[in-house]
Structure 1
Amino acid sequence: MNIQKLDVFLTLVETKKMTETAQQLKLSAPTVSFHIRSLEKEYGIKLFRTNAGGYRLTPGGEILYHYAKQLSQTNQKLEHALFQFKKGEAGSLQLGASGVPAQLFMPELIHKMAERYPRINVSLDVKTAPEIEQKLVRQELDFGLIMETSSQAKELVYEAFACDELVLAYSKDHPFSKVETVAEVDLSKQRLLVHTLSSSTKHFSKTWLKGRDEEMDLIELDSVSTIIKMLSFGQAVALISKRLIENEDHLAFTELNDNRLKRQIYFVYHQHLWENDAILFFKESVAALKEVIT
């Protein structure tokens, strides 16, 4: 149904005058008459009878007026809702992140979003980087912050956000805290904590460990916070993000000076992402945070 025709019809019902209707809608009287005739032809009924008092509704016109009024009100609500959405006054923002970026950067970004757009519902999905990529490809998420993966999806835009590296972390009570160089680090017989198999941390850890002769007890854990807690007991070491533990007072770490342990964090989104004010604000917040941390 043509909304403009209905607006013309509703206005004529209210004014009862062709000239006044034309003036209100900034149309010519013949254009108003054309729209009314078009509606009558479309529904096969006469909508108005005319007399000295102006345009009066027929019984068929009364039925159309009842439903047209509801449609007009619904259309106004729709336009208002879409306007709010475009301005970031309503709607949702669906974010995704792999483990390390989720802990390091998402809290600040979500806080900024909530401060600027309190009516936007923000959600965060924390999964492995490949899982976040697939959700972005299917456009189930708006943005992602992920560790680099072995390949990049052609449907997505990848923007370098920050660099990270894995370091060998341990308690300040661990014997490694007394060594001065990497050469003095003997991993034989050590209990090594690593993140789960599907995570990028585990992938980089496996790459670094491949071909090494040390006999090590390997413990895989889903939670980075659990790894940090276990390190505090002084009985284990871990390959873990330097950014995650460099401010932990009870921990120390050794940089292994191995490029295989350096990785990139990417800000990722679909190439056909529709942008409103809230979406643009989030992108600007990411860019601002990038300037601070690099």
Structure 2
Amino acid sequence: MKLTRLKVFASVAENKSFSKAAKELFISQPAVSIHINKLEKELGVLLLKRSEKNVELTPAGMVLYKYARRVIDLMAEAETEINSINGEIQGRLTIGATLTIGEYVLPQIIGSFKHLHPRVEILLHVQNTEVIVEELLSGHYDMALIEGLCENPKIQKKKYLDDEIVLIASRDHPWSKRGCISLEEACAGKLILREPGSGTRQITEIALKNAGIDIQALNILMELGSSEAIKAAVSANLGAAFISKWTLEKELKLGLLSIVEIEGFSIPRSFNFIYSINRNLLTFPAREFIKFCEGQGKKLLQDIADYK
């Protein structure tokens, strides 16, 4: 069995789709079909059940996938050890990130890391926490950074940065003029929230529940899928919002938005590295990227904040 065919088979199994596997591997869909057909012919068994909606593994396919994943990971480990001996960082690094991290934290870090290690090809996928965790476990990413909670036993987690979710309002909103309000008043006002499934929404709701607030009784004006959309809506004085403090630097500096303190209430959280325990070893580029984030990356973010 050729390693290339095993990689194609594993990608189809993880994506449950020939077209998605082709996109992930940068080959045509007919080429994917050819690899799978040759593999099935070589083994003399049907590995995949095809349907119009998706692709499922047969019992034989489940067995092969287990060993294919092991072979692919062992090859990656070998490359990792060889590269670490040479001291050279190269290869592809696929990172999943939740929206706040992907939009406001990682771009500067990735740019600086690429400048030091130009032979590393970095692919960044930005989604909400729910999708990132699912795709990490499916083998789509080498590692990920998330802002939401993750208690999945198949995930390893390591803290990276501190964050706080704060209540914001436009500078013309009555709350901005007062500066501090009660939690009950905040929850009774018109609120603009992130979509269900996002880390910010998840942690905000948990904090409110722990403070005795009935989530079903919240006055939710709208749900939006990005921090930029939420800030635009709040700037237009449509309502107030709970949002990451990391996203507000420009708006606070320009005086477009205000942070409204809530008496006796705060929502601290952290950004975390996560990786699947099913992967025996992080690739050399992934290990070096995490090391860079924890050292030069943190300093870079601080220098940018101080400069601005």
The TM-score bracket by the shorter chain reads 0.5 to 0.7
Are 1:254 and 2:269 counterparts?
Answer: no
Cα shift at 1:227: 0.7
Give TM-score scaled by structure 1 length.
Answer: 0.62
Cα shift at 1:147: 1.6
Q: For residues 122-141 of structure 1, what are the structure 2 equivalents within 5 Å?
A: 122-141=122-141
What is the letter of the counterpart of residue 157 of structure 2? Y
- Other-structure match for 2:69: none
What is the letter of the counterpart of residue 137 of structure 1? L
User: Structure 1 residues 218-227 or 83-92, which shifts more?
Assistant: 83-92
Identify if the C-alpha distance between structure 1 residues 157 and 191 changes in structure 2 by more than 3 Å, giving closer, same or farther. Answer: same
Cα shift at 1:235: 2.6
CA root-mean-square deviation: 3.1
Unaligned runs of 5+ residues in structure 1 are 1-78
Match of 2:165, SS? strand
Are 1:168 and 2:178 counterparts?
Answer: no
Structure with more helix by fraction: 2
Are 1:190 and 2:189 counterparts?
Answer: yes
Cα shift at 1:105: 1.5
- Other-structure match for 2:229: 226
Identify if the C-alpha distance between structure 1 residues 244 and 124 changes in structure 2 by more than 3 Å, giving closer, same or farther. Answer: same
**CA–CA distance in structure 1, aligned partners of residues 168 and 265 of structure 2:** 15
Given that residues 148 and 203 in structure 2 are in contact (C-alpha distance below 8 angstroms), is that contact kept between their aligned partners in structure 1?
A: no
Give TM-score scaled by structure 2 length.
Answer: 0.60
Q: For residues 195-214 of structure 1, what are the structure 2 equivalents within 5 Å?
A: 195-207=194-206, 208=208, 210-211=213-214
* Deviation digits for residues 173-193 of structure 1 (CA, Å, limit 9, x no counterpart): 211111132339834763211
Identify if the C-alpha distance between structure 1 residues 253 and 159 changes in structure 2 by more than 3 Å, giving closer, same or farther. Answer: same
* Deviation digits for residues 36-78 of structure 1 (CA, Å, limit 9, x no counterpart): xxxxxxxxxxxxxxxxxxxxxxxxxxxxxxxxxxxxxxxxxxx
Cα shift at 1:223: 1.7
Given that residues 188 and 219 in structure 2 are in contact (C-alpha distance below 8 angstroms), is that contact kept between their aligned partners in structure 1?
A: yes
- Other-structure match for 2:95: 95
Match of 1:255, SS? strand
- Other-structure match for 1:275: 283
Given that residues 204 and 242 in structure 2 are in contact (C-alpha distance below 8 angstroms), is that contact kept between their aligned partners in structure 1?
A: yes
Q: How many pairs are equivalent?
A: 212
Given that residues 148 and 202 in structure 2 are in contact (C-alpha distance below 8 angstroms), is that contact kept between their aligned partners in structure 1?
A: no
What is the letter of the counterpart of residue 258 of structure 2? A
Q: For residues 1-294 of structure 1, what are the structure 2 equivalents within 5 Å?
A: 88=88, 90-154=90-154, 156-183=155-182, 186-187=185-186, 190-207=189-206, 208=208, 210-211=213-214, 216-248=219-251, 249=254, 250-256=256-262, 257-259=264-266, 261-271=267-277, 272-276=280-284, 278-288=285-295, 289-290=297-298
What is the letter of the counterpart of residue 292 of structure 2? S
**CA–CA distance in structure 1, aligned partners of residues 188 and 89 of structure 2:** 58
**CA–CA distance in structure 2, aligned partners of residues 181 and 274 of structure 1:** 46
Given that residues 179 and 185 in structure 1 are in contact (C-alpha distance below 8 angstroms), is that contact kept between their aligned partners in structure 2?
A: no
**CA–CA distance in structure 2, aligned partners of residues 109 and 246 of structure 1:** 17
Cα shift at 1:212: 6.8
Given that residues 159 and 270 in structure 2 are in contact (C-alpha distance below 8 angstroms), is that contact kept between their aligned partners in structure 1?
A: yes
* Deviation digits for residues 147-167 of structure 1 (CA, Å, limit 9, x no counterpart): 23251333x331111122211
**CA–CA distance in structure 1, aligned partners of residues 124 and 135 of structure 2:** 12
Cα shift at 1:119: 2.5
What is the letter of the counterpart of residue 234 of structure 2? L
Given that residues 191 and 240 in structure 2 are in contact (C-alpha distance below 8 angstroms), is that contact kept between their aligned partners in structure 1?
A: yes
Identify if the C-alpha distance between structure 1 residues 113 and 153 changes in structure 2 by more than 3 Å, giving closer, same or farther. Answer: farther
Cα shift at 1:269: 2.4
Cα shift at 1:213: 9.4
**CA–CA distance in structure 1, aligned partners of residues 258 and 230 of structure 2:** 14
- Other-structure match for 2:306: none
Query: Identity of counterpart residues, as a percentage?
Result: 23
